[in-house]
Amino acid sequence: MRKFVQRALGKLQKLDREQVYSLVSQLAGENEQLEVVLDSMTDGVVVLDKQNRVVLYNKAAQRLLPVVGGEIDEKPVWTVVRDNEVAEFLKKSLENEDRVEDKEFTLEAGGATRIISCGTAPLVQDGEIQGTLLHVQDLTEKRGKEARLRRAESLASLTTLAAGVAHEIKNPLGSIGIHIQLIQRALKASGRLDRKTVGHYLDIVTEEVDRLNRIVIDFLFAVRPMDARLKEGDLNHVVTDLLEFVHFELEEARVSLVTRLEELPTVEFDEKFIKQAFLNIINNAVAAMPNGGTLTVSSARRGESVEVDIADTGVGISEENMTKIFEPYFTTKDFGSGLGLTVVYKIVKEHGGEISLRSKEGEGTTFTISLPIPQKELRLLGWKGRKHGV
Ligand SMILES: Nc1ncnc2c1ncn2[C@@H]1O[C@H](COP(=O)(O)OP(=O)(O)OP(=O)(O)O)[C@@H](O)[C@H]1O
Ligand SMILES: [Mg+2]
């Protein structure tokens, strides 16, 4: 179509009135169609010229990116955008020609909060940069959905947790009740009190109260919202730090350590929490190898995630227990709280990650934690999506 128009323009002198009329109306029709397409898009599109002035923008861009009034096509775009943070981002990325990162912004407009993401890309025609394409996306609903899903997930785990607590406190409460009855009976039965027997009952009551207290403290630890402060970093550093920390413990337990750490892209995590999660898994692994064994810690990038495997050569987990191990208070240990893996699960979810495991009784268990690679990092890596294969 464009070629035809160009050819026709070359012969413009030779065209008669009617032919010129038909050419112009064809161009107008095409233009209108383009406008309809652009305006029907839910994403905002803004075209900038080489001086970063607005040449064209669609309806969605108008709605998502508030601009100051007046002639917006005369000055660089960052001087006409109303939000300071967006303006600063545009100035920085357009002036530095740094067109890699998309950035998210929270805008307050008309009492509503909107989350948008802005990204820029060079506008290339015939191998030459003609300007910039500014892409604005409305993430409000998507982020809202994600938050609702997270809340629902944590609510579901809260229900199991509450059921667990109810179950856990039943025994000590029952025992306290019985011993108080025994004390009452002892008080009624004899005029003279048998101090030794009552003292023994009271000791049991105190012990059970301590147990209840422990349950409540653990429960609060497991349900309290985590104020995870995610920072970008290299997960391998966390792993090496932690392994150095548990080095002597492993030696003492006759567990030899194998590490296979591949170079990783940056991911976002809260070091304190992630260390806690790895440590809980390592503690379980060591406990599963009472006669020693091998702990293998490996890390690698897999697709859009970074994965850390922690494998032991221990007793393994039976098929039946496999579905229960993340449940609060599930333990097969005499002195276990059964909250170790519940906490691990919570930490991983808080990071938007996944946890999975493979286990075979008598052979060992491998836990895999995967954390998502942030979108902008993927773009830097030139990630093209799973279907193209990497
Ligand atoms: N690597 C492993 N090998 C074999 N069994 C495991 C392994 N990791 C977890 N388990 C099983 O899962 C159960 C629950 O683990 P979790 O860490 O939640 O609690 P715990 O270790 O029993 O208690 P705590 O962590 O409070 O000491 C364990 O009791 C154990 O039976
Ligand atoms: Mg544990």
**Among 16-30, 199-213, 216-230, which is the least confidently predicted range?**
216-230
Of 61, 143, 147, 67, the residue nearest 106 (C-alpha): 143
- Which residues lie with the beta carbon below 6 Å from any ligand 1 atom? 280, 284-285, 288, 312, 314-317, 325, 330-333, 336-342, 365
Closest ligand by atom to 344 CA: 1
**CA distances in angstroms from 92 to 101, 103, 104, listed in the order given:** 11, 12, 15
* Type of residue at 54: V
Over range 17-36, report the average pLDDT. Answer: 88
- Burial 102-123, CB ≥16 within 10 A → b, else e: bbebebeeeeeebbbbbbbeeb
- State how beta strands 255-261 and 267-269 pair: unpaired
Nearest residue (by CA) to ligand 1, atom 19, is: 338
Work out the pLDDT band at 66, boundaries 50, 70, 90.
Answer: confident
| Minimum CA distance residue for ligand 1 atom 28 | 331
Residue whose CB lies within 8 A of the most ligand 1 atoms, among 221, 309, 318, 325, for a mutation test? 325
Q: How far is the CA of 279 from the centre of ligand 1 (A)?
A: 12
Beta strands in 166-266 (DSSP E): 231-233, 255-261
Distance in Å, CA 211 to ligand 1 centroid: 20
The answer to which of 15-29, 139-153, 256-270, 366-380 has the lowest mean pLDDT is 139-153
CA angle, 229 then 230 then 236, to 5° = 125
Give me ligand 2 centre to Cα 171, in Å.
22
Closest residue to atom 5 of ligand 1, CA basis: 317
Written as six digits, the tokens of 302 are 């897999």
Distance of CA 284 from the midpoint of ligand 1 (Å): 5
- Locate 95 and state its tokens: 């002036």
SS (H, E, C) 90-140: HHHHHHCCCCCCCEEEEEEECCEEEEEEEEEEEEEECCEEEEEEEEEEECH
Dist. CA 238–CA 240, nearest whole Å: 6
Cα-to-centroid distance, 357 and ligand 1 (Å)? 13
φ/ψ of 131, rounded to 5, equals: 165, -150
**Cα 63 to averaged position of ligand 2 atoms, centre (Å):** 51
> Ligand 1, closest atom to CA 337?
26
Ligand 2 center to residue 341 CA distance, Å? 6
Cβ atoms within 10 Å of 223's Cβ, excluding its own: 16
To which residue do tokens 């050419």 refer? 23
Pick from 289, 311, 284, 280: nearest CA to 298 = 311
In the chain, domain spans: 1-40, 42-138, 141-225, 228-390
Considering every ligand atom shown, identify the ligand nearest to the alpha carbon of residue 339 and give its number.
1
Atom of ligand 1 nearest to the CA of 332: 29
The residues, any chain, with a CB within 8 Å of residue 64's CB and separated by 6 or more, are 44, 114, 116, 136, 137, 138
Answer whether 0.75 is exceeded by the pTM: no
**Atom 22, ligand 1: residue with shortest CA distance:** 331
Among 333, 355, 361, say which to mutate for ligand 1: greatest number of ligand atoms within 8 Å of CB: 333
Q: What is the pLDDT of residue 190?
A: 67
Domain 42-138 CATH assignment equals 3.30.1490.100: no
Helices 340-350 & 195-223 angle (0-180, nearest 10): 20
CB 226 within 8 A of CB 273: yes
Cα 241 to Cα 75: distance, rounded to the nearest angstrom: 51
Closest CA relative to residue 352, chosen from 250, 269, 260, 231? 269
Q: Which neighbouring-strand residues pair with 306?
A: 301, 371
Per residue in 313-370, pLDDT tens?
999 999 989 988 988 788 999 878 888 998 898 899 889 899 999 999 999 999 999 9
Q: What is the DSSP letter of 70?
A: S
Q: Is the pLDDT of residue 213 over 80?
A: yes
Task: Return the ligand number nearest the Cα of 288.
Answer: 1
Atom of ligand 1 nearest to the CA of 281: 8
DSSP 8-state code for residue 226: P
- How far, in Å, CA of 40 to CA of 361, rounded? 58
Instruction: Return the CATH fold of 141-225.
Output: Helix Hairpins (1.10.287)
The region of weakest confidence among 3-12, 149-158, 166-175, 242-251 is 149-158
What is d(CA 338, CA 335) in angstroms, rounded to the nearest whole number? 9
Q: Is the pLDDT of residue 27 over 70?
A: yes
One-letter amino acid for residue 232 of the chain: E
d(CA 304, CA 325): 27
The answer to whether the beta carbons of residues 101 and 119 sit under 8 Å apart is: yes
In this predicted structure, the answer to whether residue 253 has a pLDDT above a threshold of 50 is yes
Strand partners, 53: 76
Helix (H) or strand (E) holding 65: none
Among 3.40.50.1220, 3.20.20.220, 1.20.140.10, 3.30.565.10, name the CATH number for the domain at 228-390.
3.30.565.10
Give the range with max mean pLDDT: 77-86, 198-207, 375-384. 198-207
Q: Whose CA is nearest to atom 27 of ligand 1?
A: 336
Nearest to 48 by CA among 89, 78, 86: 78
